[in-house]
Structure 1
Amino acid sequence: MSIRIVTDSSCDLPEDVVAAHGVRVVPLSIRFGDEEFIDREQLSTAEFWAKCAQQDTLPETAAPAPGQFEQTYRELIADGATGIVVISLSSELSATMQSAELAARSVADEIPVRVVDSHSITMGLGTIVLACARLAADGGSMDDVEALAVDRASRTRVFGALDTLENLKKGGRIGNAAALLATALAIKPIIEVTGGKVEQGGKQRTRSKALKFLVEKVAGFEGRISDLAVMHADCSDVDQFVEMLRPYHSGEIVVGEIGPVIGTHAGRGTIGVAFDVVD
């Protein structure tokens, strides 16, 4: 049995990590007006942030077409795969999972494909993908890998601190007056992924307090975290933040850069943690 893992570009996993684990990533697309770009292929993260700074409105993101997933499935069949497990961006936030499911029907006579809703975003999705890729590489069955994905989806926690309200203002989620007031007070909103949705998780008055809040979240689960990841949107203080977390987690901390799919809504300077909680 050769079980392969497929995900989408909202996972924000570093390219070298994806390659090392044999994970296939199907990209979403980003639209700036009439211009459309394939995430990470036609538009790098740095180019994305540069374009955002020049726009008064937010870009739009679009799920991959079913044909993109089907092409990936067929390439994996040609590469010797005997089963495919797809772990997708939360279905509450995107139609990506639907595309993966439609494509699975197109190849149903050739290979079994199971599609799992991560109920998560960015490196929350990424940590689930990595856990499943490791199990598949160790010879785990398709049922085992699917069960792990479902289990991890129910246990993965994601917290983030926004550095600016500019994107929320551009997206119409907060008014100009409220954004100006919050900026003047240096308020840093905290977000949490709950039930596949992004919810408000509080607010902190400064960047340093926001980082401390995230560290305290991790510290609260010390000894019960099996995987810890950090994600950031072009943050100069990410290395410092990782060092703040190390006393509370002895294992590897994977660091991923927030790309256009999540960055469109979160904004530059967003930093966060994702981890699996072991009962």
Structure 2
Amino acid sequence: MRIGILVDSTCDLPEADFAQHNIRVMPISIRLGDELLVDERDAAATQHFYAEQIDTKGVDAESIPYTSEQVQAVFLERLVIDYDLVFCITVSSRHSQIFDNATRASFGILKQYRAVRAAADVQGPFSMRVIDSKTIFAGTAVLVAEVAALIEAGVPANEIRLKIDEMIPNVCGYMVPANLGYVRDRGFRKNDRKGLGDTMRGMALTLGSALSMHPVISIYRGEENPANVNRSYEKSVARMLGHVTERITAGELMSSSVCLSYAGDITRVPAMPGYDELAKAARERNIQLKLATMSATGAVNVGAGCLFIAYAGKHVKM
């Protein structure tokens, strides 16, 4: 059986992983004033966004997810021909309409695929599964990396489905925004649901609007909550990375990778406090560290300089 993966552009996997596993991407459009950026994880476009656009236009940006008609077109143009089963893994449905749009599209796809496959002389049935990751950014990447590895290893489709269902409620994500004020002012905008902006505003009130404070935000089972707070970005990053290092050392992971994404130049991340210890623990436990540039869509919502890390495994309070 030929099994493929489709994700939206907020899935923060390294570029090499997308190429190696032929992971297809549903773009998200971002309206930046009079400009329209199509976020499809193009490295050059993302680099330009960070260099020229996020600081001046990010806070007022509007994200536009693929409609159900566009999702349907993606499948019927190529995916129903190239694969017999596609796992469509989306960002949390709490924050985007992508999951709902893909689910609606699936009904039309399953009605129309036979004619498309027959015209291409492709035999046999086609199926798809639309999956709400219930997480965001590098959290979604943890699921996708695991599915890609299982497909490459030749694991049967039913076992992959069971593994996904087992992992989703155990994906633990953490992030440290560099600028809490940006996220408080920004939130998730049009076409998104209850967003991080609500959480950030609550935190700002809790902290007495002391925006010099730097919280670690936990993203777990579809909810965002403050996990820790420090007086500097560096201390929060060190606490966050140290927490994940402890989980690795304790053997509490069920994923074979830990995914990180950074809203900016990722060459800065290995020099951050706590990264060396994280990398050492990962090597000793044969855990892959996957570091990616955060998508433009993610960055407009959490701000430049945000560091995100995720794994699947035991959830322990920080």
Q: TM-score, normalised by structure 2?
A: 0.78
Residues 31-84 of structure 1: CA deviation (Å, up to 9, x unaligned): 1234322103688222223212223842111221123322332212222x1111
Counterparts in 2 of 1:83-232, with a 5 A limit? 83-109=85-111, 110=113, 111-171=126-186, 173=197, 174=201, 182-183=210-211, 186-221=212-247, 222=249, 223-225=251-253, 226-232=256-262
Query: Which ranges of structure 2 fall in alignment gaps of 5 or more residues?
Result: 114-125, 188-196
Residues 197-242 of structure 1: CA deviation (Å, up to 9, x unaligned): 3332232111221122112211331222232121111156301233
Residues 77-107 of structure 1: CA deviation (Å, up to 9, x unaligned): 222x111111110011111101111221111
For the residues of structure 1 that align with 2:237 and 2:131, how far apart are their CA atoms? Answer: 31
Call closer, same or farther: CA 1:57–1:132 in 2, change over 3 Å: closer
For the residues of structure 2 that align with 1:44 and 1:182, how far apart are their CA atoms? Answer: 34
For the residues of structure 2 that align with 1:131 and 1:278, how far apart are their CA atoms? Answer: 16
Q: 1:65 maps to which residue? A: 67
SS in 2 for 1:160: strand
Q: Which has the higher helix share?
A: 2
Call closer, same or farther: CA 1:194–1:206 in 2, change over 3 Å: same
For the residues of structure 2 that align with 1:88 and 1:270, how far apart are their CA atoms? Answer: 21
1:275 aligns with 2:311: yes
1:181 Cα deviation after fit = 5.9
Say which is worse superposed, 243-252 or 127-136, in terms of deviation: 243-252
1:263 Cα deviation after fit = 0.9
Say which is worse superposed, 202-211 or 237-246, in terms of deviation: 237-246
For the residues of structure 1 that align with 2:145 and 2:208, how far apart are their CA atoms? Answer: 40
1:119 Cα deviation after fit = 0.7
Identity %: 23
Q: 2:122 maps to which residue? A: none
Q: 2:290 maps to which residue? A: 254
- Give the root-mean-square deviation of aligned CA atoms: 2.5
Aligned amino acid, residue 235 of structure 2? K
For the residues of structure 2 that align with 1:252 and 1:145, how far apart are their CA atoms? Answer: 19
Q: 2:45 maps to which residue? A: 44
For the residues of structure 2 that align with 1:167 and 1:85, how far apart are their CA atoms? Answer: 34
Q: 2:264 maps to which residue? A: 234
For the residues of structure 1 that align with 2:147 and 2:100, how far apart are their CA atoms? Answer: 21
SS in 2 for 1:5: strand
Call closer, same or farther: CA 1:141–1:69 in 2, change over 3 Å: farther
Aligned amino acid, residue 129 of structure 2? R
Q: 1:77 maps to which residue? A: 80
Asked if the contact 2:6/2:88 (under 8 Å) is kept, the reply is: yes
